[in-house]
Chain A
Amino acid sequence: MSGMSRRKFLVTSLAGSAAVTLAPACKAMASGSFEGYPDGMGVLVDLTRCIGCRSCEAACNKEQGLAPPAQSFEDKSVFDQTFHGGQKRRTDENAYTVVNRYDPEGATKPVYRKSQCNHCNEPACLTSCFVNAYTKTREGAVIYNSKVCVGCRNCMIACPFQVPAYSYSSAFNPMIKKCIFCYETRLKNGQPPACVGICPQEALTFGYRDELLKIGRARIKANPDRYVDHIYGESEVGGTAWMYLSSAPFEQVGFDTTMGKEPIINNVKDFLGTVPMVLAIWPALFTGFHLLAKRQEHGTEGDHSNNEES
């Protein structure tokens, strides 16, 4: 793990158990304005280029050594599969990325959307994890340490993109399964992830996140009729390393467009802010109450059994 995460830095800078208890609040104050590491990498997914060949799924399967799928990666019938309540396919323990087909209104041809971990600048999974199993690396990947994971699955609750999956079928070593940006095998060696490498259309453009934003804007500017004027992920939940361009309105091709620009952790700050206050004020306040009550008691009854206190 070459990148020392900001979180880790914070933790190391806090000492002692008192600090540990107070830390949530400290962290809350430090967060919210983080825009990613300057040399963080990312991927720009251009839905107008994707042809739904599913090569990225195959490459991911091979690179990450995942279990072989029930159906061939050439089988396009998976696009017609629906699950629970009309849900399309989603990432799971054997598929860190999936491509789904959408037919937005008025579009002449289907739009394919690849989903995988978006590698947030301020990952909700990371901030919700009580054993710090997640790390946002300097290179931009959000990676996961299964060695410390207790299996509370809070990260799955927290992830606004519904990405982390859990190996529920395992009784003895279940763990979170999600895209890790091919961190161990490629990203940290200066290579693009497997899906980017395989994509025939370069629907996936790999590069520095800030460069990708320039590229995205340039594409929109050069082809204003082809693109919705928005880069999804530029600012959603504090910005993500993986970002999207689309010809169709994002909400029609499987994106949640209601999540706002604030990192998820900002929602939790109202509570985290009260922690130091309660820790600091309550002892004095309630001990004070106790003393008041006792004094009164001594005045009136005076013989109460707990007079051996204090």
Chain B
Amino acid sequence: MKTMIALGIKPVDSQERAPGRRWSLLEKVLLGLTPRQYLSQAVRNPMNWILGLAMVVGLPFILERFIFGLGAVTHSSNDYPWGLFLGFGLFCMVPLSASGFMLGTTVEIFGRHDFEPIERLALLNGLLGYLFAVVYLLVDLGQPWRLPYPMTVAFGPAAVLFLVGWHVATYLSVQIAEVSASFFEWMNWLWGKRFIRRIAVGLTVSGIILSTLHQGALGALFTYAPGKIHPLWYSSSFQWIHFFCSSIPGGLCMVIAVSTIVSKTMAWRCDETFKNSLDRLTVSLAKGASMGLITYLTIKLIAVAHDNEWAYLATGWGQWYLFEIFFGVVLPLVLFARGIRYNQVGLIRFAAFVTIFGIVLNRLNTALVAFNWKLYQEIPHWKEIVISLAIFALYVATYRFILYRLPILFAMKPLPQEVPVAAAETVRAHNTPEPAPVAAYRTGLDK
């Protein structure tokens, strides 16, 4: 894509190709390139090959899973019902996708509109994370075609998973609605965007409720297994708070991480507002993440004290626990503190990646490593890893596909107010009198 831009091609960032000539849908999808140009840039991009390879390698094993059953591709067993698909796919993807409700709250509820340039990225990150958590879930469920059952056929309202199911489904809808604002803008369906704007506060508040509950509920799922999870990773009183609290830095750091990656790899797609505000926003996000991390650390220690588990720290499990706490929580906290104090954005970005590592480690430890600590340790089947990577590649590819097109990192330039009469036939539908309030979403651009 960089080569294309060097050749003077400008990717679609407005409704009009030329005055009076609007981009067709196909042109928008192809970023304003000709099919030949599009293909050649896609082939040149090494990332496409890496993602493609991961998906091509994984696909046969996914088919194998659906033809021969879970037993063929996983080490899921009667002792270890849950493997990597849930351990990583569900328990890691969901906290790393808490960004949607975090930034939604910041902007819509607390009125911090200075976070707006990154709000849409955070919302998209939330939506895709949840969507792919569900994809992982579908691969793992014994009978995935029955996924709607808890909502339609049989109800088990006393179960934490019932709550998770309902909330993730509802929250997915909320997030689709939130992200659809970008889609409507891309399609130039301004009525839709206005509608979303109108219900934004409602959506955001329901997002907070649903997120608080199901982020916590994922932790509470493990309180069904008090004897099976090592006491250091288990706390009947605090498990849900641990999961909820750690999802805050998890989501925020994911936004820092993704924004870092996109600002490096698809700088052409980021508009000036995004680029110019990114460092400032990264520091702000880091402040939020630090608050989350320190709360998380405190409650982690309180949990150890509450159940008087100090003696376990002297064991091998204790060392692994301390490793997780040190590298996953304390180290990023120190780095964040330094980065914020001296305004070293690079250090903050590094710390964000470390935090993500810490969250992932915590979830894998809880779901797999410290699970059945009295029995034996299970190592996931290599095909489980291949499938997980393939789905992750699909996640990255989808993420990128959307970022390339929808006005997430840039603002879609709206149609000019006055439509030339000559172009009226091509722009038949454009009779919206006043796109201004919504188009002013990124006020900086209108200047």
| A and B interact | yes
Q: State in angstroms the CA–CA spacing of A264 and B228 once bound together.
A: 12
Asked whether B226 lies within 8 Å of A128 as measured between CB atoms, the reply is: no
A131 touches B236 (CB 8 A): no
Chain B residue at minimal CB-CB distance from A90: B78
CB distance from A258 to the nearest CB of B (A): 6
B205-231 interface mask toward A, CB cutoff 8 Å, 1 = contact, 0 = none?
Answer: 110110011001101111111111000
Tell me the smallest distance from the CB of A25 to a CB of chain B, in Å: 9
Residues of B within 8 A of A305 (CB): 437-438, 440-441, 443
| Contact A153–B227 (Cβ < 8 Å) | no
Within 8 A of A (CB), among B72-123: 72, 74, 76-79, 81-82, 105, 108-113
- Contact of B157 with A by CB under 8 A: yes
Does A11 count as interface, using CB distance less than 8 angstroms? yes
CB–CB A175/B205 < 8 A: no
Question: Cβ of A77 < 8 Å from any Cβ of B?
Answer: no
Q: Which residues of B contact A84 (CB under 8 A)?
A: 79, 375-376, 378
Query: Which residues of A have CB within 8 Å of B144?
Result: 150-151
User: With contacts A11-B155, A87-B376, A130-B161 known, what are 10 further pairs, Cβ within 8 A?
Assistant: A131-B155, A148-B146, A149-B142, A150-B143, A153-B142, A156-B81, A158-B225, A166-B142, A171-B67, A271-B216
The answer to whether B197 has its CB under 8 Å from any CB of chain A is yes
Stretch at the interface among A61-69, A192-200, A203-211, A293-301: A293-301
Question: Which residues 144-187 in B have Cβ within 8 Å of A in the complex?
Answer: 144, 146-147, 149-150, 153-166
In chain B, what residue has the closest Cβ to A178?
Answer: B78
Residues of A within 8 A of B225 (CB): 157-158, 160
User: Per a CB cutoff under 8 Å, which of A27, A151, A173, A259 touches B158?
Assistant: A27
Q: Is A21 within 8 A of B166, CB to CB?
A: yes
Question: In the assembly, what is the distance between CA of A267 and CA of B220, in Å?
Answer: 9
**B417 contacts the other chain (CB 8 A):** no
- Complex interface residues of chain A between 3 and 48 (CB less than 8 A to chain B): 7, 10-11, 14, 20-21, 23-24, 27-28, 31
- A224 interface residue, CB < 8 Å from B? no
Q: Does any Cβ of A come within 8 Å of B200's Cβ?
A: yes
Asked if A270 is at the interface (CB within 8 A of a chain B CB), the reply is yes
Q: A108 interface residue, CB < 8 Å from B?
A: no
Closest to A266 in B: B236
A201 is an interface residue with CB less than 8 A from chain B: no
Are A268 and B220 in contact, CB atoms less than 8 angstroms apart? yes
Q: Nearest-CB distance from B309 to chain A (Å)?
A: 14
Beta-carbon contact of B111 and A294 below 8 Å: yes
- With CB as the reference atom, state the residue of chain A lying closest to B107: A306
Separation of A10 and B157 alpha carbons in the complex (Å): 10
A286–B375 touching, CB < 8 Å: no
The CA-CA distance from A151 to B66 in the complex, in Å, is 14
The reply to whether the CB of B8 lies closer than 8 angstroms to some CB of chain A is no
Question: Is A265 an interface position by the 8 A CB rule?
Answer: yes
- Interface segment among A179-187, A226-234, A240-248, A275-283: the answer is A275-283
Q: Which residues of A contact B65 (CB under 8 A)?
A: 171
A194 to B199, CA, bound (A): 61
In the assembly, what is the distance between CA of A264 and CA of B223, in Å? 8
**112-132 of chain A: CB within 8 A of chain B:** 124, 127-132
Which chain A positions have C-beta within 8 A of B111? 290, 293-294, 296-297
Contact (Cβ within 8 A) A282 B81: no
Q: Tell me whether A154 is interfacial, beta carbon within 8 Å.
A: yes
Give B353-367 as 1s and 0s: 1 = Cβ < 8 Å from A's Cβ atoms: 000000000000000
Chain A nearest Cβ from B173, distance in angstroms: 14
Chain A residues with a Cβ closer than 8 Å to the other chain, count: 81
Whether the Cβ atoms of B239 and A271 lie closer than 8 Å is yes
Task: Determine whether the beta carbon of A20 is less than 8 Å from that of B200.
Answer: no
CA of A91 to CA of B78, assembled, Å: 9
A-side contacts of B76, CB under 8 Å: 153, 166, 168
The B interface, classified by DSSP as helix, strand, loop or mixed, is helix
CA distance A271 to B94 in the complex (A): 18
Nearest CB in chain B to that of A298: its residue = B111
Cα separation A287 to B208 with both chains bound (whole Å): 11
Interface residues of B in 211-260 (CB under 8 A from A): 212-213, 216-217, 219-228, 236-237, 239-240
Listed from nearest, the 10 A-B pairs whose CB atoms lie closest are A151-B142, A85-B376, A293-B111, A168-B71, A23-B157, A27-B158, A271-B220, A153-B81, A158-B224, A132-B156
Chain B residue at smallest Cβ distance from A270: B237
Q: Is the CB of A92 within 8 A of B224?
A: no
Find the A residue at minimum CB distance from B153: A148
* Least Cβ–Cβ distance between A281 and chain B, in angstroms: 9
Contact B197 A309, beta carbon cutoff 8 Å:
yes
Cross-interface CB contact of A289 among B82, B109, B223, cutoff 8 Å: B109
- Chain A residues with CB under 8 Å of B155's CB are 11, 20, 131-132
Check if A162 sits within 8 Å of B78, measured CB to CB: yes
| CB atoms of A278 and B209 under 8 A apart | yes
Chain B CB within 8 A of A56 CB = no
> B227's contact among A10, A90, A150, A258, by CB below 8 Å, is which?
A258
- Min Cβ gap A105→B in Å is 19
> Are B146 and A151 in touch, CB under 8 angstroms?
yes
With A24-B157, A131-B150, A305-B437 known as contacts, the answer to whether A259 contacts B143 (CB < 8 A) is no
The reply on A304 being an interface residue by CB < 8 A is yes
By the criterion CB–CB under 8 Å, are A154 and B159 in contact?
yes
Query: Is A72 part of the binding interface, using a Cβ–Cβ cutoff of 8 Å?
Result: no
Residue in chain B with minimal CB distance to A289: B109
A244-275 vs B, CB cutoff 8 Å, 1 = contact: the mask equals 00000000000010111000110110111011
Interface pair B163/A90, CB less than 8 Å apart: no
Residue from A27, A168, A173, A271 within 8 A of B240 (CB atoms): A271
- Judge whether B220 and A166 touch: CB under 8 Å: no
Using A23-B157, A169-B69 as known contacts, say yes or no to A175 and B142 having CB atoms under 8 A apart. Answer: yes
A270 and B240 within 8 A (CB): yes
Shortest distance between the CB of A117 and any CB in chain B (Å): 13
Contact of B221 among A92, A154, A274 (CB under 8 A): A154
A170 contacts B154, C-beta separation under 8 Å: no
Q: Is A80 an interface residue (CB 8 A)?
A: no
B326 within 8 A of A: no
Q: Decide yes or no whether A152 CB sits under 8 A from chain B.
A: yes
Determine the chain A residues whose CB is within 8 A of the CB of B71 once the complex forms.
Answer: 168-169
Q: Does B198 contact A (CB under 8 A)?
A: yes
- Is B29 engaged at the interface, CB distance under 8 Å to the other chain? no
